[in-house]
Structure 1
Amino acid sequence: MYNGPIIDAHQHFWEPDINPHPWLAKEVLIPFRYGDYSAIKRRYLPSDYLADAGEHRVVASVYVDAEWDPRDPLGETRYIHGVAQSCGFPNAVVAQAWLHHADIADLLAAQAQWPLVRSVRHKPGGAATPQEAKSGTRSLMSDERWRQGFALLQKHRLHFDLQTPWWHLDEAARLARDFPTTQIILNHTGLPADRSPEGLAAWKAAMKHVAKYDNVAVKISGLGEKGIPWSVERNRRIVREALAIFGSQRAMFASNFPVDSLCVRLEDLWRGFKQIVADLAPQAQRALFYDNARRLYGIDTQPPEEA
């Protein structure tokens, strides 16, 4: 199995007791795809992450916005740069940016000035079910004001991290077509929550549609299921089909920790990913665990054997 360096392409650090994460407040429980998430309402910093990673050689990580108070998106960017300066992690940042807000031009210019910011994320909402999407409910990806904000990303050489369920990937495909020079990174494997044969067939078709555009890559992550422990057996097919669709040069593994600690231990997650792709060529495995995240997020780090 792969034993080389890993860049975790999607994870979070936080200190809910001192920072403004409304959804992590002690008295708050929002509807959440993994159910009760009270267990993650605790401080989680690089030392915690590296302890959880155990034997796996995670040499760098990508911090993704963690629903910090949207009234102060730059506060989160400032905070995480402080963490990086003191701890050496994370090594790239996906910052918060609400693309349809009136101040988006100024905000993107400000976010782009921070040395670790490579991308932004704004979950575009939309339909809660495939049926709602079929009936015409659209996400913000079809909103003209939101798209005007998206158009500004190219100016600042920023990528866009997209978290949306597969039934909105037709909109994502139009976005990729209309803005071919902006890199889109699809989070959490397109959220294939419905594991029925019909659900997975629809997810696969949607993934194939958006993968037609070369400026779309995918993070293989966020595959937990409510009330069901993460396992190789339950996730092998999804991982391999995502790789068959996007190829080993447009996909990367990520943990979504500490969120996915609700479903799996970090050591077991990395071991599971390694088992699923153990038959691939060594260069393909390295691309998935290290090279692609390093390239797409512009991470300036050398693994031990290259130092």
Structure 2
Amino acid sequence: MMHEHIEALRQRFLHSGDDADLPIVDAHHHFWDLERNYHPWLRDVPRIPFRYGDYEAICHDFLPDDYFARAGNHRIVKTVMMEGEWDPRDPTGEARWATALHQRTGLPSAMAAQIWLDRDDVTDVLAAYRDLPLVRSVRHKPATVPRAAHRRDFSAPGSMRSEGWRRGYALLEASGLMFELQAPWWHFEEAAELARDFPRTRIVVNHTGLPADRSDEALAAWRRALDALARHPNVWLKISGIGEQGAAWSVARNGPVVRDAIACFGTARCLFASNFPVDSLVVTLDDLFTGFKTIVAGCTREERLALFYDNACALYRI
């Protein structure tokens, strides 16, 4: 019945073009229960340095009821939960917890799970995920450096060019899992090498490549990096996580970023996501999806449906 309801909503949007009818898959968000589970960055003090600054406001439970209390009137019908840096001593624990949450509440609809590609347990972790069908992809944030310190031959331990990391990455094809890449855009030459060398493994770029520096020079370089990575057809782009420390999220500031990202990857390989509750530090969930809708209002109905719903459903098989 749920599938029939969503398909009716989808067809109604295609007929009406009314954003009130637009079904949404939130392709990147978190759930966590800090009373029961250990996420070191959310539980331990002192807090770690963070790109949005002080994040004390998100260091509390965030579960499906908390999510929908913030969603306004948006038709969010499915979600993809991203790993939330759960205790690395138990890399599969979060996926098991999310599976139980899905069984109780129906959410998340799919998830990206924790992995450590250069650890000895990588084969065992991938084997465990075969028994957890909610898991569609995995994330291991590779080693990165600030832009000023980056060199084109960067290959530090734990980076996308390091031998152990690539050895683990090579196992993803046989597992059938995608890879979620969270790295700043100046590391995208390394990501392009992965896409080239492992063409049957899909890469899903998180947070639009993290264009935090909004200077003209930095944005031009970010666009060039996106363009180069987009040449590889096995790479997709999540438009999310584009807030700025100390600045309220706005269509005026983020509209050009979103439109440039879509120009690079096309409406067939981009998908919108909230990064909640993390991005609640810079925007409400209601205003975020309203802003995304405003930014792409000039797209066709089919393109808008792809960005908000169809692409995520296809990519995450939900």
User: TM-score with structure 2 length normalisation?
Assistant: 0.92
- Distance (whole Å) between structure 1 residues aligned to residue 188 and residue 109 of structure 2: 29
- Unaligned runs of at least 5 residues, structure 2: 1-17
- Distance (whole Å) between structure 2 residues aligned to residue 146 and residue 189 of structure 1: 23
Structure 2 counterpart of 1:81:
99
The SS at the match of 2:77 is strand
Q: Which moved more, 1:136-145 or 1:281-290?
A: 136-145
- Distance (whole Å) between structure 1 residues aligned to residue 44 and residue 188 of structure 2: 34
- Unaligned runs of at least 5 residues, structure 1: 300-307
Residue 10, structure 1, aligned to residue 44, structure 2: no
Structure 2 counterpart of 1:23:
41
Q: Deviations over 1:104-127 (max 9, x none)?
A: 111111112201100000000221
- Distance (whole Å) between structure 1 residues aligned to residue 205 and residue 110 of structure 2: 17
The SS at the match of 2:19 is coil
Whether the 8 Å CA contact 1:112–1:158 is kept in 2: the answer is no
Structure 2 counterpart of 1:133:
150
Residue 185, structure 1, aligned to residue 199, structure 2: no
Structure 2 counterpart of 1:69:
87
| Number of aligned positions between the proteins | 298
Whether the 8 Å CA contact 1:2–1:285 is kept in 2: the answer is no
The SS at the match of 2:179 is strand
CA separation of 1:295 and 1:135: change in aligned 2, threshold 3 A: closer
Match of 1:216 among 209, 212, 235: 235
The SS at the match of 1:73 is coil
The SS at the match of 2:274 is coil
Q: CA deviation at 1:103?
A: 1.2
Q: Deviations over 1:21-41 (max 9, x none)?
A: 000015231000000000001
Q: Deviations over 1:31-68 (max 9, x none)?
A: 00000000001110001101101100000000000000
The SS at the match of 1:248 is coil
- Distance (whole Å) between structure 2 residues aligned to residue 242 and residue 74 of structure 1: 33
Whether the 8 Å CA contact 1:138–1:168 is kept in 2: the answer is no
Written as runs of structure 1 = structure 2, the 5 A alignment for 1:1-307 is: 2-3=19-20, 4-25=22-43, 27-127=45-145, 129-134=146-151, 136-138=153-155, 140-299=159-318
Q: Which moved more, 1:20-29 or 1:251-260?
A: 20-29
Q: Which moved more, 1:103-112 or 1:37-46?
A: 103-112
- Distance (whole Å) between structure 2 residues aligned to residue 234 and residue 162 of structure 1: 24
The SS at the match of 1:134 is coil
The one-letter code matched in structure 2 to 1:74 is: T
Q: CA deviation at 1:134?
A: 2.4
Q: Deviations over 1:112-157 (max 9, x none)?
A: 2201100000000221x22211275446100111111111111110
Whether the 8 Å CA contact 1:112–1:118 is kept in 2: the answer is no
Percent identity, aligned pairs only, is: 54
The one-letter code matched in structure 2 to 1:132 is: A
